[in-house]
């Protein structure tokens, strides 16, 4: 009976639910003005070669600095942006911002690596996405190989003509494609054969205990081995401890990102890292 009652009570409009709903509506309303008010900011997380810690890429991670609430997690506001139809506008802003940043670094004589931008499922599957990316690159005067796009398996699961067309158009432009959170969605290994993917990203949920749990170790090893066999790059996400990095290196993972090296940081904090990189390559005579 208690179970039945519990199920029923959850349908009542409780004060707690009312509070959640009003928070959510506030959030929606605030998000509508966030672009205009310049409350969004792009942070960058370094991706390193696992053998040498050489910088091989950066992942752009969106931040929303709410005037009252402070930094709001994208895990909260990205789904809302998708639902209220603002994801295209914000997604385009992120790509443009990354292009401008890339250019600014080059102008300073730095040698920025490729930057990976997360693309939401809805944004990716909207007709004209590839054309939009091409237009932004052209307007900002950036080559396509300065960008990589991260999508998830959920997008590929739709397996629509639109999806394949978009992927091929993006590949045609010269962009690289990474499969984010690999192994957590509706995974189908055949995606790796059917779609032009360059990189698979091992999800943090497998990485976080890869050096202590047999199952997670086996999953990481299998994904890395699969990636190598298929000629794909492998990036481990959320590497926090040396033990994890050691295990992944031993298994032949190509690269990693995570708190062990650095969290996502604002642009100005990255400068030192990029300067080192520029100096390093000058020393090697490039």
Question: With CB cut-offs between 5 and 8 Å by kind, which of Mg ion, ligand C2E, none does residue 234 bind?
Answer: none
Helices (H), the chain: 2-9, 15-34, 74-83, 87-107, 121-125, 129-140, 153-157, 161-173, 190-194, 204-207, 214-229, 242-250, 267-283
Indicate the pairing of strand 176-182 with strand 199-202.
Answer: parallel
Output the smallest distance, CB 16 to Mg ion, in A: 28
Between residues 61 and 107, which has the closer beta carbon with respect to ligand C2E?
61
Return the range that interacts with ligand C2E (CB under 6 A); candidates 19-27, 159-167, 252-260, 271-279.
252-260
Site string for ligand C2E, 195-234 (x = CB under 6 A): ---------x------------------------------
DSSP annotation of 61 reads E
Site string for ligand C2E, 54-73 (x = CB under 6 A): -------xx----------x
Report which of 65, 133, 128 is spatially closest to residue 96, judged by C-alpha positions. 133
Question: With CB cut-offs between 5 and 8 Å by kind, which of ligand C2E, Mg ion, none does residue 47 bind?
Answer: none
Between residues 92 and 159, which has the closer beta carbon with respect to ligand C2E?
92
Is residue 240 involved in binding ligand C2E (CB under 6 A)? yes
Indicate the pairing of strand 70-72 with strand 55-66.
Answer: antiparallel
CA atoms of 223 and 235, how far apart (whole Å): 10
How open is the CA angle 39-258-193, to the nearest 5 degrees? Answer: 100
Between residues 158 and 282, which has the closer beta carbon with respect to ligand C2E?
158
35-54 residues near ligand C2E, rule: CB under 6 A: 45
Output the smallest distance, CB 285 to ligand C2E, in A: 34
What's the Rg (C-alpha) of the chain? 21
The residues near 134 (Cβ < 8 Å, ≥ 6 apart) are 144, 169, 173
Between residues 30 and 146, which has the closer beta carbon with respect to Mg ion?
146
CB 60 within 8 A of CB 44: yes
Is residue 258 involved in binding ligand C2E (CB under 6 A)? yes
Q: What are the two backbone dihedrals, phi and then psi, of residue 60, each rounded to the nearest 5 degrees?
A: -80, 125
Is residue 243 involved in binding ligand C2E (CB under 6 A)? no
Output the smallest distance, CB 6 to ligand C2E, in A: 32
100-119 residues near ligand C2E, rule: CB under 6 A: 118-119
Between residues 19 and 69, which has the closer beta carbon with respect to ligand C2E?
69
Question: With CB cut-offs between 5 and 8 Å by kind, which of ligand C2E, Mg ion, none does residue 240 bind?
Answer: ligand C2E
136-195 residues near ligand C2E, rule: CB under 6 A: 150, 180-181
Output the smallest distance, CB 33 to ligand C2E, in A: 18
- Name the residue with tokens 């990485």: 207
* Sign of the CA dihedral with 104 first, then 109, 110, and 111 last: positive
CA atoms of 262 and 108, how far apart (whole Å): 23
Site of interaction with ligand C2E (CB under 6 A): 45, 61-62, 73-75, 78, 91, 94, 118-120, 150, 180-181, 204, 237-240, 257-259, 264
């Amino acid at each position: 009976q208690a179970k039945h009652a519990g199920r029923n009570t959850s349908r009542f409009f409780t004060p707690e639910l009312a509070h959640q709903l009003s928070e959510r509506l506030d959030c929606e309303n605030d998000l509508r003005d966030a672009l205009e008010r310049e409350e969004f900011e792009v942070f960058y997380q370094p991706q390193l070669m696992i053998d040498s810690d050489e910088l091989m890429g950066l992942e752009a991670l969106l931040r929303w600095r709410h005037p009252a609430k402070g930094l709001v997690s994208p895990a909260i506001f990205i789904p809302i942006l998708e639902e209220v139809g603002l994801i295209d506008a914000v997604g385009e802003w992120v790509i443009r911002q990354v292009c401008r940043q890339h250019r600014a670094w080059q102008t300073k004589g730095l040698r920025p690596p490729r930057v990976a931008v997360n693309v939401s499922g809805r944004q990716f599957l909207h007709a004209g996405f590839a054309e939009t990316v091409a237009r932004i690159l052209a307007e900002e005067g950036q080559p396509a190989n300065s960008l990589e796009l991260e999508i998830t398996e959920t997008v590929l699961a739709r397996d629509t003509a639109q999806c394949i067309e978009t992927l091929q158009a993006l590949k045609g432009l010269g962009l690289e494609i990474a499969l984010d959170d690999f192994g957590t969605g509706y995974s189908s290994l055949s995606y790796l054969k059917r779609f032009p993917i360059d990189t698979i990203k091992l999800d943090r949920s497998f990485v976080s205990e890869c050096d202590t749990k047999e199952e997670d170790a086996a999953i990481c090893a299998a994904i890395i081995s699969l990636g190598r066999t298929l000629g794909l790059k492998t990036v481990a996400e959320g590497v926090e401890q040396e033990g994890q990095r050691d295990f992944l290196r031993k298994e032949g993972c190509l690269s990693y990102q995570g708190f062990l090296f650095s969290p996502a940081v604002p642009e100005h904090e990255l400068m030192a890292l990029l300067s080192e990189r520029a100096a390093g390559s000058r020393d090697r005579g490039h």
